[in-house]
Amino acid sequence: MTDKSTLTATNGDNRPFPNYEVMPDPTDEMLASPQFEAIWSVIKSWDVNVPEAYSGYCGANGSHVAMILRALSASPFPPPSAGVDAVAVKALEWSEIERDRGDGQTDRLGEWEASSIVGVYAINISTCGDMHAPWEVFGGDDSKIGNFATLDEAKAAAQADYEARIRSALTPAPTHVEAGGEAEPVAWQWRHKSDKGWRLSWEKPFNPGIELRPLYTLAKPAPAVEAVREDAERWRALMSSQRMHMMGSFGFDYVFDPPDSKKTADLVDVVPRAGDHMHFGIEFWSEHSAYGDPAWPDDFPRKVLTTYVDEMRRRAALAPAAQAGTVAQEGER
């Protein structure tokens, strides 16, 4: 079998490829990517013709995959990796089909199914196809994906097809929602009431008696959501400081166990003192030699800082209600 990471195949005339610029070797980054594996699992049994690089046909190798990845990254459409951080596609769950023989026994004939939101994927052994690639794969819309030498390769091809369909439906793109209008479905799931799984259609089906579910693109995060994310990242960055040192405080009550202790190691809780303002001083170090040393803990200033922030959050939540009460009182005068 051709090594996916090297360019060892020859053309139909048994000559090396003449154009290595067209047929690039895959980079280490490509070889490590899940997209490379997904494409390779589908094409590695193919004979491929690339007229720009050689004449005739040769077995697929890593350079063919590299060309596909290059084309995807250069296209106006997001590459297969786009949206991966936002959408983790669940692996298909396969079950082998058992056929009832009618005598209380069942047979397993090498047929597998996996239900998904885009339909039911099916794998079976073809009795009239290529004996070297007997495993036949059908997609959620009943389209044939291809034939493969092993069951694992067939499952990998189905998974790659499934992930591509999911990401193509969920890739963030300008929609009528972003323009201030109503959302329009980008695809549809449908099934007969007797069906277990859903099928996928890019156009809205109009068959009577079927169930429909619309699929939409992901909307861009609202500005408020982005602001909250940035605030959370800033807080985590502040708390990642390697050292904090307390310089003094006012407006806090400290709870120790035992109660008569004043050791920071015995501190149980920090409570804002009712009726007082809060004040404290803390020194921060981005790097410190005592970082991680249990003999030099800084739990105390971190607890004071967290208590202060939580109390300010509580007061901020009460402020609108207090302001509304003040306005009401002024209106009664």
Start-to-end CA span in the chain (Å): 90
pLDDT tens sequence across 23-80: 778 888 888 887 888 888 888 888 777 777 777 767 888 888 888 888 777 644 444 4
- Max mean pLDDT range (130-134, 194-198, 285-289): 285-289
Are 118 and 159 within 8 A, CB to CB? no
In the predicted model, is pLDDT for residue 5 greater than 50? no
Q: What is the pLDDT of residue 15?
A: 41
Q: How confident is the model at residue 144 (pLDDT cuts 50, 70, 90)?
A: confident
pLDDT the model gives residue 2: 40
pLDDT of residue 289: 92
> Could you tell me the pLDDT band of residue 6, with boundaries at 50, 70 and 90?
very low
Q: Are 288 and 261 spatial neighbours (Cβ–Cβ below 8 Å)?
A: no
pLDDT in tens, 222-267: 566 677 778 888 888 899 999 999 998 999 998 989 988 888 788 8
**Could you tell me which residues come within 8 angstroms of residue 306 by beta carbon, excluding any fewer than 6 positions away?**
none
Q: Given this model, what pLDDT does residue 22 score?
A: 61
Question: Per DSSP, which regions of the chain are E strands?
Answer: 47-48, 58-59, 95-100, 106-116, 119-125, 135-138, 144-148, 187-192, 199-201, 210-215, 243-250, 252-256, 267-272, 279-285
Which pair of tokens denotes residue 331? 């209106």
